[in-house]
Amino acid sequence: MNTTAPLLAVTMGDACGIGPEIVARACAAPMPAPCLVVGDVATMRRAVQACGLDTPVLRLDNPESARDVPRHSVPVWQPPGLPAGLALLPMGTVQAEAGRGAIVCIEAAADLALQRRAGAIVTAPVHKQALAAAGSPFPGHTEMLQACVHGAGPPPEVRMMLANDELRVVLVTIHMSLKRAIEQLSVERIATTIRLAHEAGRRLGLEVPRIAVAGLNPHAGEGGLFGDEEQRLIEPAITQARAAGIDASGPFAPDTVFMRARHAPGHAGEFDLVVAMTHDHGLIPVKYLGVERGVNVTLGLPIVRTSPDHGTAFDIAGRGMADPTSLQAALSMAHELGRSGLGGWG
């Protein structure tokens, strides 16, 4: 572990889900950089016990002291306002207090990153129903972080990128009904997504990222026979992007573009990133390749944020069997993105 690398602030996620368990397992393994768990000490101790780990859970008075803890320990900073009794909540259930605890941890971690006290944040899974039960108006991390970072000004344009070693997909729309997602499509929104995808590719070391833009309709509209969104919205956005020097092409049929872009043994992908119009259009292909390998990256924030490509897994929570692989991939990507500087994508 590089002890001089920017600190990674890791939120524990929903106390009733697998978040604390995968965080505990990740801390017990080699880490790419010093990490700080933003969460509840008792909940993390419950997770360590459930996993059968012989790993000390250390309560820290301030976040910076995470650099001085022994290796393979779980350094926990409890942020102000964290609800009491989180470790007593029943596992695998939707609990408003768990939602409140997750919100406090997310906001505190984002604040650490905004203050440059952490180089990146890595968020363990939250449960959307628990967030709603806690009174949150936000359906997930992406929207919550967008609100956390904008201060008095307008919120930044943010997008979700899901990536593994074979595919990188950036979404134009995310957590909303399919009907509303289609209504939300615009030339400006699509063009902004292509720009953020380009910036993400550059941040990942690609000099000229090759971006494929997927269509919305079957066969990318088949020249207008199956819908006009490709001609009316997507093509003008690609034209704007290309005028700005971005290597964007399409729109391509969404049922084949992911196969063309996939980087696999014996198959070099034609593209480096794919822009998809809706949540499931883009995420099904990535998750089919294995959720344990995927990393969620929020583009457009002034801070670096990554997360694993799965949810709270209430069905196995508390049994000590959760796989930390996706979280470990998220930690590595956060380190890679954060080490070039403490800023984000803006």
- Shared domain for 138 and 105, answered yes or no, is yes
Q: Are 213 and 194 in contact (CB under 8 A)?
A: yes
CA atoms within 13 A on the CB side of 250: 41
> Which among 29, 4, 10 has a CA at the least distance from the CA of 323?
29
Q: Are 241 and 191 in contact (CB under 8 A)?
A: yes
Q: Please tell me the pTM assigned to this model.
A: 0.87
> What is the per-residue pLDDT for 344?
52
Q: Are 156 and 146 in contact (CB under 8 A)?
A: yes
Q: Write the CATH number for 317.
A: 3.40.718.10
Assigned domain for 281 exists = yes
Q: How far is 254 from 258, CA to CA, in rounded Å?
A: 7
- Shared domain for 120 and 235, answered yes or no, is no
> Which among 279, 287, 227 has a CA at the least distance from the CA of 251?
227
> What is the per-residue pLDDT for 153?
67
Q: How far is 258 from 189, CA to CA, in rounded Å?
A: 21
Task: Divide the 346 residues of the chain into consecutive groups of 10 and give the mean pLDDT of each group.
Answer: 75 97 95 94 97 95 90 94 96 97 95 93 95 90 83 78 92 93 96 95 90 95 90 97 97 95 87 96 88 85 91 94 93 82 46
> What is the per-residue pLDDT for 340?
55
- Shared domain for 49 and 183, answered yes or no, is no
* Displacement of CA 133 from its chain's centroid (Å): 22
Range of the domain at 317: 1-156+308-346
Assigned domain for 56 exists = yes
**For the chain, how many structural domains are there in total?**
2
> What is the per-residue pLDDT for 345?
46
Kindly tell me the burial class for residue 117, based on how many C-beta atoms sit within 10 Å of its own C-beta (0-12, 13-18, 19 or more): middle
> Which among 212, 6, 192 has a CA at the least distance from the CA of 112?
6
How many residues in total does the chain contain?
A: 346
